Chains A and B, each alone.
Chain A
């Protein structure tokens, strides 16, 4: 739907009985380029747009991420602004105070940027490589699973469960991440598996 057109039509036919001068006429005598010294330049010029969905609640507002650099061209992309998507049927471009400040959660000072480990009894996190961290995790899982896996219950029924390790899944990840997570966790026989829906 062309929003500009829709706005024109609406203004003419609305219950408000607005005559319909519309936005195009925001006083702009058909845009002969005005001397702009006075007005701040529009800072989204030459940015790249990506359609995304707000990460917070389940209203799932449509958003547009404006970045310097284009991921589709293999470039690094630095987000400069996030704004509501006017084409989205639910939010029509609007955002709440969390959504309107999304850029600052992406760029939060408390974002994590490298794997860290806090050793037994230590009072600090220390950097660890991805490989070392992942090896440690897989080893700990296997050791615990081998030691505590219950193949049969006391009645001799095959139960194949693992209850001494648990996994809490995120509720802001995608379905695809969720399914990948599901496959990995469930295939181990883990039962202490839950997500935020429980809260």
Chain B
């Protein structure tokens, strides 16, 4: 058994966060001075082969983060909700897969959620200064006060993870329970996981543990068992052990080779943070939208809002019928 992390302390001094502002290595649409010392990288390892799909992680996430999800419907499958939402940061996805080699049915169950990429596409795509930060331990966190709800983080994310709230129009995703990790705890999902399909520790520990698991899987005939730590995004701070690591996509569409859209990189190349300041933030957002989504999707209204924003006037209240990516609001830089 991977030894459990000790129970949390309720004493005030134990609750002082052990990382924060000074450990930020990246900040969306901003320059940061890199910290003198990098924290040890952390990671969550999700062993899909030990997962029983019980959804304890989903329950623990809702509970710890005080999230209220809507009560939905059954759609003929075990998933619920049917997709990630602003309140569902993590979701079990179920795939009934018949292994062509053995003809055995395999029920592949994957916990979906933010991968905390080393090279985060969301952060790179984000035009709002400080709405997304990355700590030197690898956690990618959203700062809702700075978020403008433009939705570019979704487009920048190779895993399609963030979701925009219709209530406060900002983007939400898994924080890796940064509030828990900051006091020496693991994420709520990890603590709950009944079979320790989710474990948490330093990234190196997690890689070593994964090796141990992969050996066991290979002894049981899963020759392609392996670790999913995709290098296209610089590696991730949420990794999977897969029985069939040669074909990640059979696990409910886990990307085989995730990379950040070249357009996001291009945009960064052209403007950098300085560019944003010069252009004015909303116009920059408009430009990004252009490069990510293509010109045909930038509506006249967007342009108009952008104009107003640069002039310092507030945009009209968002129309719920509008697609999330087209909704602009929030603070100006």
Contact = CB atoms under 8 A, between A and B. Distances in A.
Interface in A41-91: 41-49, 64, 66, 81-87, 91
B245 interface: no
Nearest to B195: A94
Contact of B4 (A14, A17, A28, A92): A92
Interface string B81-119: 000000000000000000000000000000000000000
Interface in A91-137: 91-101, 103-104
Among all A-B residue pairs, the 6 with the closest Cβ atoms: A27-B39, A34-B20, A28-B18, A16-B212, A27-B137, A7-B3
A194 interface: no
Contacts of A46: 10, 12
A59 B301 CA distance: 58
Given A46-B12, A97-B56, A3 B6 contact: yes
A10 interface: yes
Given A14-B212, A44-B10, A34 B204 contact: no
Interface string B32-60: 00000111111000000000001110111
Contacts of B179: 39-43
B63 interface: yes
A83 B16 CA distance: 20
A23 B183 contact: no
A91 B192 CA distance: 9
A31 B7 contact: no
Interface residues on A, range: 35 or more
Interface residues of B, number: 67
Contacts of B202: 21-22, 25-27
A185 interface: no
A34 B56 contact: no
Interface of B: 1-8, 10-12, 15-24, 37-42, 54-56, 58-60, 62-64, 133, 135-138, 141, 143, 175, 178-184, 186, 188, 191-196, 201-202, 204-205, 208-209, 211-212
A192 interface: no
B184 A26 contact: yes
Nearest to B137: A27
B51 to A, nearest CB: 13
Interface in A139-186: none
Interface of A: 2-4, 6-7, 10-11, 14-19, 21-29, 31, 33-49, 64, 66, 81-87, 91-101, 103-104
A39 B202 CA distance: 19
Contacts of B15: 41-42, 44-45
A132 B58 CA distance: 45
A182 B253 CA distance: 56
Contacts of B10: 44-49, 66
Given A11-B205, A38-B135, A38-B143, 13 more contacts: A11-B3, A19-B208, A22-B205, A26-B201, A31-B18, A34-B20, A37-B21, A38-B133, A41-B15, A83-B8, A92-B1, A96-B192, A99-B192
Nearest to B186: A23
Nearest to A34: B20
B22 A96 contact: no
Given A25-B40, A45-B15, A34 B7 contact: no
A3 B5 CA distance: 7
Contacts of A15: 212
Task: Name which of A6, A21, A29, A103 has the most chain B CB atoms within 10 A of its CB.
Answer: A29
Given A3-B5, A100-B56, A38 B42 contact: no
A93 B212 contact: no
B18 A18 contact: no
